[in-house]
Amino acid sequence: MENDWKVIALIYSGKPDPQWHLTEMQADHFLNLFSRAADSRNDVVIPSILGYKGLRLLSHKKQFLIYNGTITLLEKGLSSSKKDEGKNIEKYLLKTAPKKISDLLRQLNIL
Amino acid sequence: MFSGRPNPSMVLSDAESRLLIKKISSALRKKISRKAEPFPSMLGYRGIIIETFGTKRRTDILPRMQFTPGYVYTHNGGRRSDDLPYLESFVLQRLSSFEGVRSIRSFKERLKKQMEDFHEKCPKWRKNHHKWYSQLLKDFYRPIKYKPCYCAPLPDLDAWNNDPNIQWGNNCYNYGTNYRTDTYAQPGYASGGEENDLSACSVPAGHISARMGAENDGLIALPSNNNTCPAMGHLVALVIAPDSDYHWYRKGRNGKWSHKMGGSPATILDNSGNPITDPRTADRGSYVDFCTFMQVIHGHFKIDGPY
Protein backbone atom coordinates (compact mmCIF):
# COMPACT_ATOMS: atom_id res chain seq x y z
CA MET A 1 0.00 0.00 0.00
CA GLU A 2 2.92 2.32 0.81
CA ASN A 3 3.99 2.39 -2.83
CA ASP A 4 0.51 2.47 -4.32
CA TRP A 5 0.03 5.67 -6.32
CA LYS A 6 -3.36 6.55 -7.73
CA VAL A 7 -4.00 9.34 -10.24
CA ILE A 8 -7.47 10.86 -10.44
CA ALA A 9 -8.34 13.10 -13.38
CA LEU A 10 -10.77 15.69 -12.06
CA ILE A 11 -13.23 15.84 -14.92
CA TYR A 12 -16.72 14.99 -13.83
CA SER A 13 -19.20 16.60 -11.52
CA GLY A 14 -21.52 13.71 -10.81
CA LYS A 15 -19.88 10.51 -11.96
CA PRO A 16 -16.78 9.21 -10.20
CA ASP A 17 -13.72 10.60 -11.95
CA PRO A 18 -11.48 8.30 -14.01
CA GLN A 19 -8.51 6.99 -12.06
CA TRP A 20 -5.53 4.75 -12.63
CA HIS A 21 -2.43 3.56 -10.82
CA LEU A 22 1.19 4.47 -11.48
CA THR A 23 3.86 1.84 -11.74
CA GLU A 24 6.72 2.09 -9.25
CA MET A 25 8.94 3.45 -12.01
CA GLN A 26 6.38 6.10 -13.02
CA ALA A 27 5.91 7.16 -9.39
CA ASP A 28 9.69 7.44 -8.89
CA HIS A 29 9.98 9.52 -12.06
CA PHE A 30 7.19 11.85 -10.91
CA LEU A 31 8.80 12.27 -7.46
CA ASN A 32 12.11 13.00 -9.15
CA LEU A 33 10.52 15.67 -11.38
CA PHE A 34 8.75 17.18 -8.38
CA SER A 35 11.88 17.33 -6.24
CA ARG A 36 13.79 19.10 -9.02
CA ALA A 37 11.05 21.66 -9.74
CA ALA A 38 11.34 25.24 -8.51
CA ASP A 39 9.43 26.29 -5.41
CA SER A 40 6.17 28.12 -5.82
CA ARG A 41 4.66 30.59 -3.37
CA ASN A 42 1.14 29.69 -4.43
CA ASP A 43 -0.77 26.52 -3.64
CA VAL A 44 -2.98 24.87 -6.21
CA VAL A 45 -6.58 25.95 -6.03
CA ILE A 46 -8.82 23.35 -7.63
CA PRO A 47 -11.25 25.48 -9.63
CA SER A 48 -15.00 25.36 -9.16
CA ILE A 49 -15.83 24.91 -12.81
CA LEU A 50 -17.51 22.30 -14.93
CA GLY A 51 -14.98 20.35 -16.96
CA TYR A 52 -11.31 19.49 -16.41
CA LYS A 53 -10.07 20.69 -13.02
CA GLY A 54 -6.61 19.14 -12.78
CA LEU A 55 -5.18 15.97 -11.28
CA ARG A 56 -5.06 14.42 -7.85
CA LEU A 57 -2.25 12.02 -7.07
CA LEU A 58 -2.77 9.95 -3.95
CA SER A 59 -0.50 7.62 -2.07
CA HIS A 60 -0.83 6.14 1.39
CA LYS A 61 0.32 9.28 3.18
CA LYS A 62 0.72 11.97 0.52
CA GLN A 63 -1.59 13.86 -1.76
CA PHE A 64 -0.54 16.01 -4.71
CA LEU A 65 -2.83 18.46 -6.47
CA ILE A 66 -1.71 19.37 -9.98
CA TYR A 67 -3.29 22.15 -11.98
CA ASN A 68 -2.40 25.00 -14.28
CA GLY A 69 1.36 25.08 -13.78
CA THR A 70 1.49 24.41 -10.05
CA ILE A 71 1.84 21.25 -7.97
CA THR A 72 0.95 21.22 -4.28
CA LEU A 73 1.97 18.46 -1.91
CA LEU A 74 -0.33 17.94 1.06
CA GLU A 75 1.22 15.88 3.81
CA LYS A 76 0.52 15.70 7.54
CA GLY A 77 -1.68 18.78 7.37
CA LEU A 78 1.02 20.89 5.69
CA SER A 79 1.31 22.04 2.11
CA SER A 80 4.29 22.85 -0.10
CA SER A 81 4.16 23.83 -3.72
CA LYS A 82 6.37 23.70 -6.80
CA LYS A 83 6.15 25.24 -10.22
CA ASP A 84 5.20 22.97 -13.10
CA GLU A 85 6.93 24.79 -15.93
CA GLY A 86 5.11 24.27 -19.20
CA LYS A 87 2.75 21.92 -17.33
CA ASN A 88 5.27 19.21 -18.18
CA ILE A 89 4.70 17.19 -15.03
CA GLU A 90 0.92 17.34 -15.47
CA LYS A 91 1.33 16.22 -19.08
CA TYR A 92 3.62 13.39 -17.98
CA LEU A 93 1.02 12.12 -15.51
CA LEU A 94 -1.78 12.40 -18.08
CA LYS A 95 0.27 10.28 -20.46
CA THR A 96 0.50 7.47 -17.92
CA ALA A 97 -3.27 6.89 -18.23
CA PRO A 98 -4.32 3.53 -19.67
CA LYS A 99 -5.67 3.52 -23.24
CA LYS A 100 -9.35 3.68 -22.36
CA ILE A 101 -8.85 6.75 -20.17
CA SER A 102 -6.37 8.40 -22.52
CA ASP A 103 -8.93 8.04 -25.33
CA LEU A 104 -11.44 9.81 -23.10
CA LEU A 105 -8.88 12.53 -22.24
CA ARG A 106 -8.24 13.09 -25.95
CA GLN A 107 -11.95 13.20 -26.65
CA LEU A 108 -12.32 15.92 -24.01
CA ASN A 109 -9.28 17.83 -25.40
CA ILE A 110 -7.35 17.37 -22.18
CA LEU A 111 -4.55 15.32 -23.72
CA MET B 1 -40.66 6.89 28.54
CA PHE B 2 -38.39 6.88 25.50
CA SER B 3 -38.94 8.42 22.12
CA GLY B 4 -36.35 6.66 19.99
CA ARG B 5 -35.08 3.69 22.00
CA PRO B 6 -37.36 0.79 22.94
CA ASN B 7 -39.10 1.38 26.27
CA PRO B 8 -37.88 -0.56 29.32
CA SER B 9 -40.10 -3.61 29.82
CA MET B 10 -40.59 -6.62 32.07
CA VAL B 11 -42.40 -9.94 31.68
CA LEU B 12 -44.73 -10.86 34.55
CA SER B 13 -45.17 -14.33 35.97
CA ASP B 14 -48.61 -15.96 35.76
CA ALA B 15 -49.26 -15.18 39.43
CA GLU B 16 -48.31 -11.53 39.00
CA SER B 17 -50.41 -11.29 35.85
CA ARG B 18 -53.47 -12.63 37.68
CA LEU B 19 -52.93 -10.09 40.47
CA LEU B 20 -52.66 -7.25 38.00
CA ILE B 21 -55.62 -8.30 35.88
CA LYS B 22 -57.81 -8.50 38.96
CA LYS B 23 -56.88 -4.93 39.76
CA ILE B 24 -57.35 -3.41 36.31
CA SER B 25 -60.26 -5.49 34.97
CA SER B 26 -62.90 -3.21 36.46
CA ALA B 27 -61.57 -0.31 34.35
CA LEU B 28 -61.69 -2.40 31.21
CA ARG B 29 -65.33 -3.26 31.80
CA LYS B 30 -66.19 0.43 31.63
CA LYS B 31 -67.54 1.93 28.44
CA ILE B 32 -65.35 3.94 26.13
CA SER B 33 -65.72 7.58 27.04
CA ARG B 34 -66.54 9.93 24.21
CA LYS B 35 -65.27 12.76 26.32
CA ALA B 36 -61.99 11.04 27.16
CA GLU B 37 -59.10 13.41 27.67
CA PRO B 38 -56.55 13.37 24.83
CA PHE B 39 -53.68 10.93 25.19
CA PRO B 40 -50.72 12.88 26.57
CA SER B 41 -48.19 12.77 23.73
CA MET B 42 -45.42 14.14 25.88
CA LEU B 43 -41.70 13.48 25.87
CA GLY B 44 -40.43 11.40 28.79
CA TYR B 45 -42.42 9.11 31.04
CA ARG B 46 -46.05 9.06 29.92
CA GLY B 47 -47.72 6.14 31.71
CA ILE B 48 -47.58 2.38 31.80
CA ILE B 49 -48.36 -0.01 28.97
CA ILE B 50 -49.63 -3.51 29.68
CA GLU B 51 -49.54 -5.96 26.81
CA THR B 52 -50.76 -9.54 26.83
CA PHE B 53 -49.18 -12.22 24.70
CA GLY B 54 -49.04 -16.00 24.44
CA THR B 55 -51.44 -18.64 23.17
CA LYS B 56 -53.80 -18.82 26.15
CA ARG B 57 -54.86 -15.19 26.32
CA ARG B 58 -58.02 -14.14 28.09
CA THR B 59 -60.51 -12.72 25.64
CA ASP B 60 -61.78 -10.07 28.07
CA ILE B 61 -58.31 -8.49 28.37
CA LEU B 62 -57.32 -6.26 25.49
CA PRO B 63 -53.91 -6.92 23.93
CA ARG B 64 -52.54 -3.44 24.67
CA MET B 65 -53.57 -0.97 27.35
CA GLN B 66 -51.87 2.31 28.14
CA PHE B 67 -52.58 3.76 31.57
CA THR B 68 -52.33 7.51 32.13
CA PRO B 69 -53.70 9.78 34.87
CA GLY B 70 -57.49 9.31 34.89
CA TYR B 71 -57.68 7.25 31.70
CA VAL B 72 -56.64 3.99 30.12
CA TYR B 73 -56.27 3.97 26.32
CA THR B 74 -56.79 0.92 24.15
CA HIS B 75 -57.05 0.42 20.38
CA ASN B 76 -60.63 1.65 20.38
CA GLY B 77 -60.48 4.69 22.64
CA GLY B 78 -60.13 5.88 26.23
CA ARG B 79 -61.89 4.73 29.38
CA ARG B 80 -61.92 6.22 32.85
CA SER B 81 -59.33 4.57 35.09
CA ASP B 82 -57.56 5.57 38.27
CA ASP B 83 -55.26 2.57 38.24
CA LEU B 84 -52.04 4.35 37.28
CA PRO B 85 -50.80 5.08 40.84
CA TYR B 86 -51.26 1.40 41.75
CA LEU B 87 -49.48 0.28 38.58
CA GLU B 88 -46.61 2.67 39.23
CA SER B 89 -46.06 1.33 42.71
CA PHE B 90 -46.37 -2.22 41.31
CA VAL B 91 -43.64 -1.42 38.79
CA LEU B 92 -41.36 0.39 41.24
CA GLN B 93 -41.39 -2.67 43.49
CA ARG B 94 -40.24 -4.88 40.64
CA LEU B 95 -37.55 -2.81 38.94
CA SER B 96 -35.06 -5.67 39.06
CA SER B 97 -37.28 -7.52 36.57
CA PHE B 98 -36.83 -4.84 33.92
CA GLU B 99 -34.87 -5.91 30.87
CA GLY B 100 -31.94 -3.84 29.70
CA VAL B 101 -31.60 -1.70 32.85
CA ARG B 102 -27.96 -1.44 33.91
CA SER B 103 -28.23 0.34 37.25
CA ILE B 104 -31.47 -0.28 39.14
CA ARG B 105 -30.75 2.51 41.60
CA SER B 106 -30.22 5.30 39.10
CA PHE B 107 -33.05 4.01 36.92
CA LYS B 108 -35.40 4.09 39.92
CA GLU B 109 -34.41 7.66 40.77
CA ARG B 110 -34.87 8.78 37.20
CA LEU B 111 -38.18 7.00 36.79
CA LYS B 112 -39.61 8.34 40.05
CA LYS B 113 -38.61 11.87 39.10
CA GLN B 114 -40.18 11.50 35.65
CA MET B 115 -43.36 10.04 37.18
CA GLU B 116 -43.68 13.05 39.50
CA ASP B 117 -43.11 15.46 36.62
CA PHE B 118 -45.61 13.64 34.47
CA HIS B 119 -48.36 13.75 37.09
CA GLU B 120 -47.72 17.44 37.54
CA LYS B 121 -47.56 18.38 33.87
CA CYS B 122 -50.14 16.04 32.34
CA PRO B 123 -53.21 18.03 33.52
CA LYS B 124 -51.65 21.25 32.18
CA TRP B 125 -50.80 19.58 28.89
CA ARG B 126 -54.39 18.39 28.53
CA LYS B 127 -55.75 21.82 29.44
CA ASN B 128 -53.62 23.49 26.78
CA HIS B 129 -54.57 20.78 24.31
CA HIS B 130 -58.24 21.66 24.80
CA LYS B 131 -57.44 25.33 24.58
CA TRP B 132 -55.63 25.58 21.25
CA TYR B 133 -54.86 22.23 19.63
CA SER B 134 -57.69 22.33 17.10
CA GLN B 135 -56.67 25.83 16.06
CA LEU B 136 -53.01 24.83 15.86
CA LEU B 137 -53.92 21.85 13.73
CA LYS B 138 -55.88 24.07 11.41
CA ASP B 139 -52.94 26.43 11.15
CA PHE B 140 -50.56 23.53 10.58
CA TYR B 141 -52.43 22.41 7.47
CA ARG B 142 -53.28 25.85 6.17
CA PRO B 143 -51.58 26.73 2.87
CA ILE B 144 -48.56 28.80 3.80
CA LYS B 145 -47.98 32.21 2.33
CA TYR B 146 -44.26 31.96 2.73
CA LYS B 147 -41.24 33.59 1.29
CA PRO B 148 -39.73 31.89 -1.75
CA CYS B 149 -37.81 28.75 -0.89
CA TYR B 150 -38.81 28.75 2.75
CA CYS B 151 -37.81 25.11 3.18
CA ALA B 152 -34.66 25.20 1.05
CA PRO B 153 -31.17 24.81 2.52
CA LEU B 154 -29.52 27.83 4.05
CA PRO B 155 -26.32 29.05 2.42
CA ASP B 156 -23.66 26.70 3.82
CA LEU B 157 -20.73 26.63 1.40
CA ASP B 158 -18.20 26.42 4.23
CA ALA B 159 -19.77 23.23 5.57
CA TRP B 160 -18.98 21.54 2.24
CA ASN B 161 -15.68 23.23 1.46
CA ASN B 162 -13.74 23.55 4.71
CA ASP B 163 -13.11 19.88 5.45
CA PRO B 164 -11.18 17.98 2.72
CA ASN B 165 -12.95 14.71 3.56
CA ILE B 166 -16.33 16.33 3.07
CA GLN B 167 -15.25 18.24 -0.01
CA TRP B 168 -13.73 15.26 -1.82
CA GLY B 169 -16.30 12.72 -0.62
CA ASN B 170 -19.39 14.57 -1.81
CA ASN B 171 -20.35 15.57 -5.32
CA CYS B 172 -23.04 17.63 -7.05
CA TYR B 173 -25.76 15.10 -6.17
CA ASN B 174 -24.84 15.25 -2.46
CA TYR B 175 -24.75 19.02 -2.48
CA GLY B 176 -27.86 19.38 -4.61
CA THR B 177 -29.94 17.19 -2.32
CA ASN B 178 -28.20 18.66 0.74
CA TYR B 179 -27.39 15.14 1.91
CA ARG B 180 -23.84 14.45 2.96
CA THR B 181 -22.92 10.77 2.57
CA ASP B 182 -19.13 11.02 2.03
CA THR B 183 -19.64 8.26 -0.56
CA TYR B 184 -19.92 10.31 -3.77
CA ALA B 185 -23.63 9.63 -4.19
CA GLN B 186 -24.97 8.45 -7.53
CA PRO B 187 -28.58 8.76 -8.70
CA GLY B 188 -30.33 5.48 -8.01
CA TYR B 189 -27.43 3.87 -6.14
CA ALA B 190 -29.26 3.79 -2.80
CA SER B 191 -32.43 2.40 -4.34
CA GLY B 192 -30.81 -0.26 -6.51
CA GLY B 193 -31.78 1.52 -9.74
CA GLU B 194 -28.60 3.38 -10.59
CA GLU B 195 -28.39 5.40 -13.79
CA ASN B 196 -26.70 3.52 -16.64
CA ASP B 197 -27.27 5.78 -19.62
CA LEU B 198 -26.06 9.37 -19.79
CA SER B 199 -26.60 9.78 -23.52
CA ALA B 200 -29.42 12.25 -22.93
CA CYS B 201 -32.16 13.26 -20.54
CA SER B 202 -34.53 10.73 -22.09
CA VAL B 203 -33.15 7.26 -22.73
CA PRO B 204 -34.42 4.16 -24.55
CA ALA B 205 -36.76 1.79 -22.73
CA GLY B 206 -34.88 -0.51 -20.38
CA HIS B 207 -32.13 2.05 -19.74
CA ILE B 208 -31.92 4.20 -16.62
CA SER B 209 -31.24 7.91 -17.03
CA ALA B 210 -29.88 10.17 -14.28
CA ARG B 211 -33.38 11.54 -13.82
CA MET B 212 -34.84 8.04 -13.44
CA GLY B 213 -32.08 7.12 -10.96
CA ALA B 214 -32.91 10.22 -8.92
CA GLU B 215 -36.62 9.39 -9.08
CA ASN B 216 -35.78 5.91 -7.81
CA ASP B 217 -34.08 7.60 -4.85
CA GLY B 218 -37.22 9.59 -4.10
CA LEU B 219 -36.72 12.90 -5.93
CA ILE B 220 -39.72 14.20 -7.84
CA ALA B 221 -39.47 15.50 -11.41
CA LEU B 222 -41.08 18.90 -11.99
CA PRO B 223 -40.81 19.26 -15.77
CA SER B 224 -43.19 22.20 -15.94
CA ASN B 225 -41.55 24.12 -13.10
CA ASN B 226 -40.31 27.55 -14.06
CA ASN B 227 -37.55 28.20 -11.52
CA THR B 228 -39.97 28.50 -8.60
CA CYS B 229 -39.63 26.87 -5.22
CA PRO B 230 -41.95 23.96 -4.46
CA ALA B 231 -44.27 24.10 -1.47
CA MET B 232 -42.30 21.35 0.25
CA GLY B 233 -38.55 20.73 0.27
CA HIS B 234 -36.33 22.47 -2.24
CA LEU B 235 -35.71 22.79 -5.95
CA VAL B 236 -32.80 21.21 -7.81
CA ALA B 237 -31.96 21.17 -11.49
CA LEU B 238 -30.47 18.29 -13.45
CA VAL B 239 -28.30 18.83 -16.53
CA ILE B 240 -26.43 16.37 -18.72
CA ALA B 241 -23.14 16.40 -20.57
CA PRO B 242 -24.27 13.87 -23.20
CA ASP B 243 -22.50 10.51 -23.00
CA SER B 244 -20.27 11.88 -20.28
CA ASP B 245 -21.71 13.08 -16.99
CA TYR B 246 -24.60 14.71 -15.18
CA HIS B 247 -24.70 17.73 -12.87
CA TRP B 248 -27.02 19.21 -10.25
CA TYR B 249 -27.79 22.73 -9.10
CA ARG B 250 -29.75 23.63 -5.98
CA LYS B 251 -31.88 26.65 -5.17
CA GLY B 252 -31.24 27.90 -1.65
CA ARG B 253 -33.53 29.51 0.88
CA ASN B 254 -32.50 32.93 -0.37
CA GLY B 255 -33.72 31.94 -3.83
CA LYS B 256 -30.18 31.83 -5.19
CA TRP B 257 -28.64 28.91 -7.05
CA SER B 258 -25.40 27.17 -6.13
CA HIS B 259 -23.65 23.94 -7.08
CA LYS B 260 -20.68 21.71 -6.43
CA MET B 261 -18.60 20.18 -9.20
CA GLY B 262 -17.55 16.74 -8.03
CA GLY B 263 -14.82 17.06 -5.39
CA SER B 264 -14.34 20.78 -6.07
CA PRO B 265 -15.56 23.40 -3.63
CA ALA B 266 -19.23 24.34 -3.82
CA THR B 267 -19.82 27.71 -5.46
CA ILE B 268 -22.49 30.23 -6.38
CA LEU B 269 -20.94 31.03 -9.75
CA ASP B 270 -21.37 29.46 -13.17
CA ASN B 271 -18.61 28.46 -15.58
CA SER B 272 -18.18 32.09 -16.63
CA GLY B 273 -17.94 33.29 -13.06
CA ASN B 274 -21.40 34.83 -13.11
CA PRO B 275 -24.11 34.36 -10.48
CA ILE B 276 -26.65 31.73 -11.46
CA THR B 277 -30.11 33.21 -11.71
CA ASP B 278 -31.47 30.25 -13.65
CA PRO B 279 -29.57 27.03 -14.42
CA ARG B 280 -31.27 26.90 -17.82
CA THR B 281 -29.39 30.01 -18.89
CA ALA B 282 -26.19 29.64 -16.87
CA ASP B 283 -22.88 28.84 -18.53
CA ARG B 284 -22.77 25.09 -18.07
CA GLY B 285 -19.71 24.17 -20.14
CA SER B 286 -20.26 20.81 -21.77
CA TYR B 287 -23.39 20.09 -19.70
CA VAL B 288 -25.47 21.35 -22.56
CA ASP B 289 -28.70 19.39 -22.00
CA PHE B 290 -31.03 20.85 -19.43
CA CYS B 291 -33.13 17.89 -18.24
CA THR B 292 -35.57 19.05 -15.62
CA PHE B 293 -36.16 20.76 -12.34
CA MET B 294 -36.76 18.31 -9.51
CA GLN B 295 -38.15 18.51 -6.02
CA VAL B 296 -36.22 17.23 -2.99
CA ILE B 297 -38.47 16.61 -0.02
CA HIS B 298 -36.38 16.23 3.09
CA GLY B 299 -36.93 12.85 4.71
CA HIS B 300 -38.57 11.39 1.61
CA PHE B 301 -35.48 10.27 -0.26
CA LYS B 302 -32.28 8.36 0.25
CA ILE B 303 -29.00 8.60 -1.60
CA ASP B 304 -25.70 6.79 -1.42
CA GLY B 305 -22.64 6.08 -3.52
CA PRO B 306 -19.84 3.66 -4.23
CA TYR B 307 -17.06 5.07 -2.01
> pLDDT (tens digit, 9 = 90+) per residue, B5-37?
667 888 998 888 888 888 887 777 777 777 778
What confidence category does residue B164 fall into, taking pLDDT thresholds of 50, 70 and 90?
A: confident
Asked if residue A31 belongs to a domain, the reply is yes
* pLDDT(B299) > 70: yes
- Nearest CA to B65 out of B29, B103, B113, B96 is that of B29
State how far residue A93 is from chain B, nearest Cα, in angstroms: 19
- pLDDT score at B143: 63
Residues of B with Cβ-Cβ distance to A48 under 8 angstroms: 260-261, 264-267, 269
- pLDDT score at A61: 86
- pLDDT score at B149: 82
Phi, psi at residue B128, to the nearest 5°?
-65, -35
How many beta-carbon pairs below 8 A join chains A and B? 75
How far, in whole angstroms, is CA B144 from its chain's centroid? Answer: 21
Task: Please state the ipTM of this predicted complex.
Answer: 0.80
Q: Which domain holds residue A43?
A: 5-99
How large a percentage of chain B has pLDDT more than 90? 43
Asked if residue A63 belongs to a domain, the reply is yes
Over chain A, what HEC string results?
CCCCEEEEECCCCCCCCCEEEECHHHHHHHHHHHHHCCEECCCCCCCCCCCCCCEEEECCCEEEEEECCEEEEEECCEEEEEECHHHHHHHHHHHCCCHHHHHHHHHCCCC
What confidence category does residue B39 fall into, taking pLDDT thresholds of 50, 70 and 90?
A: confident
* pLDDT(B74) > 90: no
Number of domains in chain A: 1
* Segment 73-92 of chain A within 8 Å of chain B by CB: 74
- B271 to A53: CB separation less than 8 angstroms, yes or no: no
- Mutation choice for B interface testing from A6, A7, A17, A48 by most B CBs within 10 A: A48
Tell me what the mean pLDDT of segment A8-36 comes to: 96
* pLDDT(A67) > 90: yes
Quote the CA–CA distance of B145 and B129 in Å, as a whole number.
26
A14 vs B60, more confident: A14
For residue B39, count CB atoms less than 10 angstroms from its CB and return exposed for 0-12, middle for 13-18, buried for 19 or more: middle
Tell me what the mean pLDDT of segment A28-49 comes to: 94
Please report the DSSP string for chain B in residue order. Answer: --SSSPPPB----HHHHHHHHHHHHHHHHSPPPTTPPPP---SS---EEEE--SSS--TTS-SEEEEETTEEEETTEEEE---HHHHHHHHHTTGGG-BT-S-HHHHHHHHHHHHHHHHHHHHHHHHHHHHHHHHHHHHHHSPP---TTTTSPPP-HHHHHSSHHHHHH--HHHHHHT---SS---TTTTTT------S-SS--TT---HHHHHHHHT-EEETT--S---SSSEEEEEEEETTTEEEEEEE-TTS-EEEE-TTSPEESB-TTS-B-S-TTTS--TT--EEEEEEEE-TTS-------
Span between the terminal Cα atoms of chain B, in Å: 39
B66 vs B99, more confident: B66
Asked if residue A105 belongs to a domain, the reply is no
Tell me what the mean pLDDT of segment A10-32 comes to: 96
For residue A94, count CB atoms less than 10 angstroms from its CB and return exposed for 0-12, middle for 13-18, buried for 19 or more: buried
Tell me what the mean pLDDT of segment B93-121 comes to: 86
Q: Tell me the domain boundaries of chain B.
A: 14-141, 157-296
* pLDDT(A1) > 60: no
Asked if residue A108 belongs to a domain, the reply is no
* pLDDT(A31) > 70: yes
- pLDDT score at A82: 96
Tell me what the mean pLDDT of segment B153-165 comes to: 89
Cβ of A47 under 8 Å from any chain B Cβ?
yes
Q: What is the mean pLDDT of chain A?
A: 93
- B264 to A47: CB separation less than 8 angstroms, yes or no: yes
- pLDDT score at A56: 97
Comparing CB atoms, the residue among A10, A50, A108 nearest residue B263 is A10
Cβ of A103 under 8 Å from any chain B Cβ?
no
What confidence category does residue A32 fall into, taking pLDDT thresholds of 50, 70 and 90?
A: very high
- Nearest CA to A109 out of B184, B285, B248, B260 is that of B285
Residues of A with Cβ-Cβ distance to B164 under 8 angstroms: 74
B166-212, pLDDT tens digit by residue? 999 999 999 999 999 999 999 999 999 899 999 999 999 999 999 99
Contact B270, B276 (CB under 8 A): yes
Asked if residue A104 belongs to a domain, the reply is no
Q: What is the mean pLDDT of chain B?
A: 87
